[in-house]
A and B are shown apart, each in its own frame.
Chain A
Amino acid sequence: SSRLPLVLNTWSFKNATEAAWQTLASGGSAVDAVENGCAVCETEQCDGSVGFGGNPDELGETTLDAMIMDGTAMDVGAVGDLRRIKNAIGVARKILEHTTHSLLVGESATKFAESMGFTSEDLSTNTSKALHSNWLAQNCQPNYWRKVIPDPSKYCGPYKPPDVLKQGTSAYKEVDIHGHD
């Protein structure tokens, strides 16, 4: 226990670690530290995989997922497919603090965030727009579809299921390690 307190986080996101540590040092709780640490990554767009302006979906929109868990109370707040709100971990904290639910998603989560005082704004940037344009120019490759027509390994959608289902398509497709959850 002499090694406590401890802050541990995935990847080399140093400023997030520092922010969490400083939160503890200034008297904040472990939950406060997680919130502030993750929030720094959202602001800094850590390696493009956190926060606004990164990893757009097929339609070019950046959406955010976040979760925070209090291991003392076993309480959780989480948000999935959050649209137009930059501070996803902040919204997750509000769900933890102000509801008895655990997970809110999509457009309704955005409405909840707005009611909690978060600003709604476009999450796309020139970078995310360029990523999306390049993907479209490359016939929407790679993508996550299978067993649909037109052939998703060659063409963009819209896709639909075929009349006869082909067997043998792998259920797993290796992902780009630079775009991670």
Chain B
Amino acid sequence: TIGMVVIDKLRHTAAGTSTNGLKFKIPGRVGDSPIPGSGAYADDMAGAAAATGDGDILLRFLPSYQAVEYMRKGDDPTIACQKVISRMKKYFPEFFGAVICANVTGSYGAACNKLPTFTQFSFMVYNSLQNQPTTEKVDCI
């Protein structure tokens, strides 16, 4: 799955996802990706976020919406992402998931749930301070 967040110079936000879902899913199954607030969410008044991982769990928590709401209340994007992951982790300690967050000033962050096979999450960043896309990594919590 790709989840993407874009904020332009005028602070207009957009977010999106595209996926072919889980391998060997039961036909008809849809995950978090096409669900607004779950796979991605954007609001010019606050910021935008996108999630990736096990969509059957993610969509129960609307993590992208929740992350944007945390940023609206003033949380730094990294903290917003971490709070969302922590909330899901309380219910599903072994769930596979990560979230990227950005606010309308251009600050960004990410977080993921640590598993034995998933200890770091890679994401891409391109902003006006860089002259090319850059891979960044966060340690999962």
Chain A at the B interface: mostly helix, strand, loop or mixed? mixed
Residue of B nearest to A176 (CB): B23
User: In the assembly, what is the distance between CA of A181 and CA of B7, in Å?
Assistant: 23
Q: Is B69 on the interface with A (CB-CB < 8 A)?
A: no
User: In the assembly, what is the distance between CA of A62 and CA of B12, in Å?
Assistant: 33
Interface flags for A68-86 (1: CB within 8 Å of B; 0: not) read 1111101010111100000
- A4-B124 contact in complex given A10-B3, A57-B26, A181-B1, C-beta closer than 8 Å: no
Query: What is the size, in residues, of chain A's interface with B at 8 Å between Cβ atoms?
Result: 84
In-complex Cβ contact of B33 among A6, A57, A174, A181 (8 A):
A181
Q: Are A67 and B36 in contact (CB-based, < 8 A)?
A: yes
CB distance from A110 to the nearest CB of B (A): 14
Interface flags for B65-107 (1: CB within 8 Å of A; 0: not) read 0000000000000000000000000001011101010101111
Q: What residues of chain A lie closer than 8 Å to B20, measured between beta carbons?
A: 48-52, 54-55, 62-65
Q: Are A13 and B15 in contact (CB-based, < 8 A)?
A: no
Q: What residues of chain A lie closer than 8 Å to B54, measured between beta carbons?
A: 175, 180-181
